[in-house]
Structure 1
Amino acid sequence: MTEQENHEAYWRENIKLVFLCLAIWFIVSFGFGVLLVEQLNAIRMGGFKLGFWFAQQGSIYTFLALIFFYVHQMNKLDKKYNVND
């Protein structure tokens, strides 16, 4: 694999990872917090309706978890493609 092909493959995988993280965050924040709020409000979590919880807290916790997931995956990707710091 040439250096150019290696670089393109690295960025292709990076972009897929970014879109995956954005899709998960969108589903949790907009899907659960806005679109499915009525169905989720039938379930209670810690005394609060689940739809309300996703709108207020769940999307934030998901975003923080996605940051750590992204860092972990990028470290693996850097090692795979031998990218130096």
Structure 2
Amino acid sequence: MSFKNDDKAKRYWNENIKLVLSLLTIWAAVSFGCGILLVDLLNEIHFMGFKLGFWFAQQGSMYVFVVLIFVYAAKANALDEKYDVHED
């Protein structure tokens, strides 16, 4: 990865860190918030025969994490294209 100048490199990494932090916030909100904090409220809703709070605690947060991996890959590729540091 080669940048033309240090300012461009700093802007790239600032955007990348913002992206990572935003995705980690979503993951924490889903896994901790829905699986622990809001479990009693979500347990009143049933999803595929299970209480929704239980589902988030056991499976939902993992599904969200996998989706976030794909989102990060797509956004990181777009960021690489934007700053012209993509791989050929």
**Cα distance between partner residues in 2 of 1:6 and 1:54:** 40
2:31 aligned residue: 29
Q: Give TM-score, length-normalised by structure 1.
A: 0.96
**Cα distance between partner residues in 2 of 1:64 and 1:56:** 14
Counterpart amino acid of residue 41 in structure 2 = Q
Aligned length: 84
2:77 aligned residue: 75
1:59 aligned residue: 61
Structure 2 residue runs of 5 or longer lacking an equivalent are none
Q: Give TM-score, length-normalised by structure 2.
A: 0.93
Q: Which of the residues 17, 20, 27 maps onto 1:18?
A: 20
Instruction: Tell me the percent identity.
Output: 56
Moved over 6 A (4+): none
Computed over aligned residues only, the root mean square deviation of the Cα atoms, in angstroms, reads 0.9
How far the C-alpha of 1:43 sits from its partner, in A, is: 0.1
